[in-house]
Amino acid sequence: MLVTGGNRGIGLAIAKAFAAQGDQVAVTHRSGADGLPAELLPVQCDVTDAAAVDAAFSEVEEKHGPVQVLVSNAGMNDDTLLMRMSEDSFTKVIDANLTAAYRVAKRASRGMLKAKSGRMIFISSVVGLTGSAGQVNYAASKSGLVGLARSIARELGSRGITANVVAPGFVDTDMTRALPDARRAEILGQVPLGRYADAREIASAVTWLGSEDAGYVTGAVIPVDGGLGMGH
């Protein structure tokens, strides 16, 4: 199985959870793979580069065989209000979060179609469903993943391939540690469970979607958000 952006944060927690159940796990990284557990296969890949995605899959296929479970997790944000958001900021975030998911899904579908089975799991966000002031680019990319996954679910379901979305709320990672204290406190005030998620709590939903037990689940959006998005 392959996790994009698996060198830190939520992606690393997902990779470790699959490895802990005995799966062969490859992780893509861009900034480096220092300190990764030895059981994870690190593969250099910038997901905004289609040739790099193709090369990364070829390397994983050579070492582990075809990718049976794909977790499209790599993502970034570049927050600012609409009035100040440059077109470059908008397209950069869409490219890294949404177009990249299309790239990896398309590449993964090749092997999955041959195998007549496969699991694709896309890491979206609660803000893709609720919207978020200051995150027009990020929220658009994350809601785009819902349409992408559900279309794949319809296209490839007859070939035994499932496509699902996990929508985390606020998780304690580098991405949220970068938020100002006042914003962190404001967010916590809106979370019924009153705390951030541990990345392992996102990973457990993802491993379930990748398991035999979830064989009849496709096109689903599973919130893991402490109740933040209820009703969306």
> Residue 98 interacts with ligand NDP (CB under 6 A)?
no
The residue count of the chain comes to 232
C-alpha torsion 20→200→30→75, nearest 10: 140
Applying CB under 6 A, does 91 fall inside the site for ligand NDP? no
The number of residues that bind ligand NDP (CB under 6 A) is 28
Comparing CB distances to ligand NDP, the nearer of 175 and 220 is: 175
Residue 139 as a binder of ligand NDP (CB under 6 A): the answer is no
Query: What crossing angle do the helices spanning 199-209 and 9-20 adopt, rounded to 10°?
Result: 50
Residue 46 or 115: which CB sits closer to ligand NDP?
A: 46
Q: CB of residue 227 vs ligand NDP: minimum separation in angstroms?
A: 14
For the question of residue 138 being annotated catalytic, the response is yes
Residues 172, 195 contacting (CB under 8 angstroms): no
Region near ligand NDP per CB under 6 A, out of 28-36, 81-89, 111-119, 154-162 = 28-36
Binding mask 99-138 toward ligand NDP (x if CB under 6 A, else -) reads ------------------------x-x-------------
Which CB sits closer to ligand NDP, 5 or 144?
Answer: 5
Q: Which of 102, 138, 196, 216 is catalytic?
A: 138
Q: How far is the CB of 14 from ligand NDP (least distance, A)?
A: 9
Of 31, 58, 91, 151, the one binding ligand NDP (CB under 6 A) is 31
Catalytic residue numbers, as ranges: 138
List of residues contacting ligand NDP (CB under 6 A): 5, 7-11, 28-31, 45-48, 73-76, 96, 123, 125, 168, 170-171, 173-176
